[in-house]
Amino acid sequence: MTNNGNVWKQRIIRPQFSAEQEYNYDALNRISGMYESAAVNRAYNYDRYGNRYVETSSSQIPSPIAPGPTMPGHFNTANNRLAMTGTGFDAAGNQTTLAPYTLEYDAEGRNTVVKLSGVSYATFSYDGEGRRVRKAMNGGDTTYYLYDALGQMAVE
């Protein structure tokens, strides 16, 4: 660790694979680079909102221990939201598209329906306190959620 608590180096051991990773940080203590003994190097940059994205990568092959995007992130600079193909948001900030799924919300901003190719895939119901009480899947599986007097989920 560095003197301010940032992880400087780590050794990762998995079955039939091990590697070391080293990290660099910018003046704001944000990660600026990752170097791996498995020959994967990444340099990161940040947009004006502080969103991190991969600026450069030494490999188009994902690391077996550090998976992640190898392309720059795409942010809409007008509203600081992801601007990637297959995603969409409504005016309230709710995610309405996550291709191939579409999501619908009630007036309280709670996810009520998930559709796959226009067909209901899952529906959700909520109680008067805004807690999810039912999840019904298209295949017939239904899950009920029960809460105790303190509002904690007691049974699923």
Percent of the chain with pLDDT over 70: 78
Of residues 116 and 52, which shows the higher confidence score?
Answer: 116
> Which segment of 46-50, 81-85, 138-142 scores lowest on mean pLDDT?
81-85
Per-residue pLDDT at 70: 41
Per-residue pLDDT band at 85 (split at 50, 70, 90): low
Annotate 3-27 with DSSP letters as a single string: TTS---EEEEEETTEEEEEEEEE-T
Of residues 63 and 48, which shows the higher confidence score?
Answer: 48
Mean pLDDT, rounded, for 64-74 = 47
Mean pLDDT, rounded, for 78-96 = 78
Mean pLDDT, rounded, for 144-148 = 94
Contact criterion met (CB below 8 Å) for 128 and 117: no
Contact criterion met (CB below 8 Å) for 67 and 19: no
3-state secondary structure 86-133: CEEECCCCCEEEECCEEEEECCCCCEEEEEECCEEEEEEEECCCCCEE
pTM for the predicted model, two decimal places: 0.48
Of residues 69 and 47, which shows the higher confidence score?
Answer: 47
What's the token pair of residue 95? 């995610």
Per-residue pLDDT at 74: 63
> Which segment of 72-81, 98-107, 139-148 scores lowest on mean pLDDT?
72-81
